[in-house]
Amino acid sequence: MHLNRMIWILSLLAFCLTIILSTGCNKKTISLRERTPEAQFEEAKRIFEKRDYYKAKMQFTVIVLNNPGHRIIEEAQFYLAESHFHLKEYIEAIAEYEKLIRSMPQSQFVDNARYKIGLCYYELSPMYALDQEYTQKAISQFQLFIEEFPNSEMRSEVGKKLQEAQIKLAKKQYKTGELYRKMGYYRAAVLSYDFVLNEFTNTPFIDDALYWKGECSLKLMEWQDAVESFEALIENYGSSSYTDNARIKLNMARKKLANTPMQEES
């Protein structure tokens, strides 16, 4: 009799515990279901601001997928891309920024997204000696930003990044010319220097390119080209470290040019 009473009490306790747990779970389930997209977004943004970008990324992904057409999607999509960016997942970030620009072209975040696409490519860009495909894509995005948003507050920052990317390309092209020159391939070197002079006029390699193009032109006995290179260097970059040598080489090139017989016109 005593044993049966104990079994009955334990059964009753188990039943009560089940009811309590069930009630708690149901309340939790109801609470989750009742959360609005705005509340979900605020929580995800709070996580983002704590720099838990991986968790924030997951939260923003759920919001974007579960609330198509909702007004909160615009901002959630931007912060989803931002989460990828801060995690250095640049390819994924580019895709999410592009999705924002493509599907919400009137969004207040479009200019920022365009800049960040360029910045992603910039971050993916390797050292100058390697392939510069990502650098060229960064330049294209920065230039597109300047064309589309000429009055943006970010224009100055974008311009700086554009300049840095162009300097990297100019350095690669200049170093290529330097390599050809040292190998004795003066014609190829001149082509590389000309590319720098024509395409990267606002980079620090212009006086270098002018001087060494002049030197290569002397080697090729193309006196007029040598004169023009040295004259341009002296006239436009008088404080360059090459200026003194350029004056000497200019006089040499002028003498050679003066002593070269003029070809009669046929």
d(CA 260, CA 145): 51
Residue 44 domain flag: yes
Q: Contact 97/110 with Cβ under 8 angstroms?
A: no
Residue 143 domain flag: no
Residue 96 domain flag: yes
Is-above-0.75 flag for pTM? yes
Residue 159 domain flag: no
CATH of the domain at 81: 1.25.40.10
d(CA 169, CA 199): 10
**How far from chain centre, in Å, is Cα 73?**
25
Q: Contact 62/81 with Cβ under 8 angstroms?
A: no
Range of the domain at 52: 38-106
CA dist 132 → 21, 92, 127, 164, 172 (Å) = 60, 20, 8, 13, 9
Residue 233 domain flag: no
Q: What's the number of domains the chain is made of?
A: 1
DSSP-derived secondary structure letter, 260: S
Residue 69 domain flag: yes
Residue 137 domain flag: no
pLDDT in 10s for each residue of the chain, 266 residues: 454 455 444 444 444 444 444 445 444 433 434 579 899 999 999 999 999 999 999 999 999 999 888 899 999 999 999 999 999 999 999 999 999 999 999 999 999 999 999 999 999 999 887 889 999 999 999 999 999 999 999 999 999 999 999 999 999 999 999 999 999 999 999 999 999 999 999 899 999 999 999 999 999 999 999 999 999 999 999 899 999 999 999 999 999 888 877 644 43
